Every structure is written in C-alpha cells, then in structure tokens.
Amino acid sequence: MGKIAFLFAGQGAQYAGMAKSLYESSSAARTILDEAERLRPGTLELCFTGTKEQLSLTENTQPCLMAVDCACDAALREAGVRPDGLAGFSLGELAALASGGMLPFREAFTLTVTRAELMARCARRFDSGMIAVLRLPDDTVEAICRETNAYPVNYNCPGQVVCALLKSDFPAFTEAVQAAGGRALPLAVGGGFHSPFMREAAEGLRAYADTLTFRDSAVPLYANATNRPYTAAQAAALLSAQVESPVRWAELIRLMQADGYTAFVELGAGKTLGGLMAKIGGAQIVAHVEDAESLAETFAML
C-alpha cells in the first residue's frame, strides 16, 4: 500500500447524533469534543441532538463539523493509524490544520468559530446560496455562470460543479442548466461560499489569522487555495483566500495521487468525500470514520 491521506469533511454533511458513539467509546475523541464544549458551550448538544434548522445555521454548522472532524481524527490516531498527508474540503481544512499540528486544537477551533461568524454575516448581507450542477462539462457550467450572474466554486469531480449565486437568480440558473442537459440541485448550506459574496469574511479572517502563530505541518497538508502543501508562513493568506476562492477538489486529489497517496480516509460526518473519490478514481483504498462502527471497519481495512 502507498501513502495514507486523511481527508476532512466540509459543510453540508451535518446531522443530529454526529460523533456520539465515538464520544462514548474513544477517550481521545471525548477529549476533543469536551474541549470544543468548553470553548463554545452548547456544541455537544448541537452535535448530538440539534435540529436540522439549528445545524443548518453556518455559525453552528462549522464549529460542530470541525469538532467532529477532529474527534474522528483523534479516535483513528488512538487506534494506531497515522496519516502521511492531509487535506480538508473547505471547512475541513481547519480540522486538517489541527491534525497537522499547525495550530493547537483550541486555536483552530476558535479560528473556526470566527470564520463561521464572518461567513454567516456575509450570507445575511447577500441572500445567496449554492447549487450543484450534475452531468455537464466544467466549461459548459462556467459558460452558464457567466450568463446568469453565478460563480463556479467547487469543482468536486468529473461532471459535478457547485455554483454560488443569489437566490433570486436560482430559477434562471436552473433553467439554463436543464436546457443544457444537466441537473441542478440546491444545497443545504447557509450562503454562497467560496465566491466574491464572501469578500468581507475573507478580509476579516485574514486579520484574525494574522494574530495567530502557525507552525509547519507535521506531514504535507494540501491547501484548497493552491492545491499544494502549506507552509506556516503562507497559512493566514491561504486561509483567507480559501473563503472567497474556488475549491478545485478533483485536481487536488489527483495531485495527491501523483505524490504517491493511494489510501484515502474521510474523517467526519457523512461519506461525501468518499463518493467524490469513487468518481475521481485512482485510489486503492477509500474508507471513512464517522462513528464507532466505521472506525473499527477502517482500522481493519488499513
């Protein structure tokens, strides 16, 4: 087997009951989640019993998912599995920072809370959202975006691009996608992320990140903004750029594969990244950890 990559899940996969079985079965996961609760009281209740409406609020979604990502990471490491490299999809990149030791968990979590509040503020200012476009080539989606005031923001896998746009433009955008032979699926997220709608959030995050002291990651951590490994000196700029720039996930994964990664373990709620891996192809092993059962299955597989 080649190198193992840990991939940290992003926003949109949240659900009530996240990481509850890991909290009950893994002391390492429990330590992470208890620290998140100490730093932001109410986080555990949201993770374990929050309503769909509560968990869909960006200011709640991001801290909860980041804590769950890190709890899954801690549980897998406690079981004896270590990564050779890291990447996180959007929000997941902040969990990857903590996993790689670029920031202590408490600082990475507080950074996440700040990011969530800044992005939620932008989302309230611009009544925007995101739509996944399926079954169309990237260049066709880009052309539709130019014609409908939308932005292609997540290049997830072949035949799947997520776009950010004002909700008032949803009908015209959806009609254009369907006319081109594609399918348009609105996503359960709180705003038009990774687009110019988030410009003020990016600026605010940069100002906050500049107050932190980053260390180089213990293993290569591939940045969404560049698809190349982080350095500590770049961290604040890369985190800021990520908020308002497209995530070219398929390209990032292919670059990791070119660097020798063959096993990819998704950490966090859901199996979204594993589903994208199946469409990107090229991996020998694709696994995930989100609860006690999947932890045992992934440990046995690896």
What string of DSSP letters covers 221-242? Answer: EE-TTTSSB--GGGHHHHHHHH
CB distance 90 to 242 below 8 Å: yes
- Measured CA to CA, the distance from residue 199 to residue 179 in angstroms comes to 31
What domains are there in the chain, each with its CATH number?
3-124+195-301 (3.40.366.10), 127-186 (3.30.70.250)
The 10s digit of each residue's pLDDT in 47-98 is 999 999 999 999 999 999 999 999 999 999 999 999 999 999 999 999 999 9
Identify the pLDDT of residue 302: 87
| Angstrom distances, CA of residue 78 to CA of 15, 29, 31, 66, 164 | 24, 9, 12, 18, 38
* Burial class of residue 213 in the structure, from the number of CB atoms within 10 Å of its CB (0-12 exposed, 13-18 middle, 19+ buried): exposed
* Residues 259 and 46: beta-carbon distance below 8 Å: no
What the block records as the tokens of 2 is 């080649």
Cross-strand pairs, 164: 130, 151
Find the helix packing angle between 105-125 and 199-209, rounded to 10°.
160
Indicate the SS3 state at residue 110.
helix
CA distance 80 to 49: 30
SS3 283: coil
> Rounded to an integer, what distance in angstroms lies between the CA atom of residue 234 and that of residue 229?
10
pLDDT at 1: 66
- Closest by CA to 168, choosing from 140, 198, 129, 132, is 129
The C-alpha atoms of residue 11 and residue 162 are separated, in whole angstroms, by 13
Longest CA–CA span in the chain (Å) reads: 53
- Residue positions annotated with a catalytic role: 90, 194
Question: pLDDT below 70 — which residues of the chain?
Answer: 1
Tokens of 203: 């600026």
pTM: 0.95
Residue-level pLDDT at 12? 84
Q: What pLDDT score was predicted for residue 167?
A: 95
Q: Checking phi first, is residue 181 left (phi over 0); if not, alpha (psi -120 to 50) or beta?
A: left
| Per-residue pLDDT, 261 | 97
Find, among 98, 9, 117, the residue nearest to 60 by Cα: 117
Specify which residues 52 forms β-bridges with: none
pLDDT at residue 2, as a whole number: 85
